[in-house]
Amino acid sequence: MKAAVMYGINQPLVLEDIEIDEPQHGEVLIKTAASGVCHSDLHFMEGSYRYPVPTVLGHESAGVVEKVGPGVTRVKPGDRVVVAFVTSCGACDYCVVGKPYLCGNSAALSRMGRIKLKGQPIPQFSNMSAFAEYQLVHQNACVIVPDDVPMEVAALVGCSVMTGVGAVTNTMKVPVGSTVAVVGAGGVGLNIIQGAKLAGASRIIAVDLLENKLAAAREFGATDVVDASKGDAIQQVQGITGGGVDYAFEAIGLAKTAEQCWAMTKRGGKAVVVGMIPIGASVSLPGPDFIFAEKSIHGSFYGSTRQTYDMPWLMELYRQKRLKIDELISRRYTLDQINEAYAALKNGEVNRSVITF
């Protein structure tokens, strides 16, 4: 099969022929239909997060079941599925208390060395390696896609939609009437905005540096926008709300913007880090705020997803036209155009791009 191979940091991805094993017990071979071009992969491409190379990146995808191994009961050949990049075992302490996104056995369910480049085993990324024509995944990662949901839409449900909407609805359970700020109006940030709208937030303030991102934020539900290139963003948010917001979501992945989110919250407010802050970076917060302002900071991983429960209702909201996903997709590329897709992402030209197969 064809796959986009990462050979090193800050190097273009290279289209190569690679081999993939047949599915074994509990495994599913999926023919990829669509893979989202996500900033999380860019963190690995640029070295702020490390992963063994060569490898095949990609973690936001949907496809059609080609083959199943022995013992597979969740799906069958021909099924259309979203692939969740956290494979949960269903039996560890985290899984049994309803936190499968923190599964302690997820790594053990991966298929390391089951794809080969020039005869040599290479590691599988995020339990799927979705920038390839086929994926070998565990059946627990598969979520059925209704026939009337396009595959590129389903792919985005697999990461950006789940991560953004879930940060609001699952991780923080934002109450109706709350005030919310979202720092970073990219693919995940726009879905945090959508989640806040669904939750009934009274004010949703989008913060970004680019006019096109702020325009998109308004389209997806922001009631107010703050251009951080024109004055102090913290002061602007405090001015709009008369003192700060109840919840401030960081959706870029920088220590500086996490600290800004903290400062944007009012007394008793909550800062929520959704973006991938680079390894080695630290967030510095004023100590007295914890006590005298009773502020708090939270992390949100993958929208605290319980994929077999959450992804179906996200797709149902899309079917009811209550969740914008088609509108997220700015451009479509083929696999051999993947470096162009990442250049557009880095330049801030797109909300989300999709590789279609």
Distance between CA atoms of residues 330 and 325, nearest Å: 11
Residue in 40, 106, 110, 353 annotated catalytic: 40
Backbone torsions φ then ψ of 9, nearest 5 degrees: -65, 135
Mention every residue, 6+ apart, whose C-beta is less than 8 A from residue 343: none
Q: Give Cα separations from 328 to 43, 185, 250 (angstroms).
A: 21, 11, 19
Residue carrying the six token digits 């939750």: 199
Beta strands 134-138; 120-122: pairing state: unpaired
Write phi, then psi, for 6 (nearest 5 degrees): -95, 120
Whether 38 sits among the annotated catalytic residues: the reply is: yes
Query: In 142-175, which positions are buried (b, 16+ CB within 10 angstroms) versus exposed (e)?
Result: bbbbeeebbbbbbbbbbbbbbbbbbbbbbbbebe
Residue 43 among the catalytic residues: yes
Tell me which of 95, 103, 142, 159 is the catalytic residue.
159
* Cα torsion 150, 156, 157, 158: sign: positive
Q: Could you confirm whether 142 is annotated as catalytic?
A: no
> Edge-to-edge strand order for the sheet containing 203-208?
224-227, 203-208, 179-183, 245-250, 265-273, 296-299
Which residue among 38, 103, 142, 261 is the active-site one?
Answer: 38
Residue 159 falls in the annotated catalytic set: yes
The angle that helices 187-199 and 211-219 make with each other, rounded to 10 degrees, is 30
- Annotated catalytic residue within 35, 39, 59, 353: 59
Question: 43, 106, 160, 300: which one is catalytic?
Answer: 43
User: Does 59 qualify as catalytic in the annotation?
Assistant: yes
Q: Which residues are designated catalytic?
A: 38, 40, 43, 59, 159
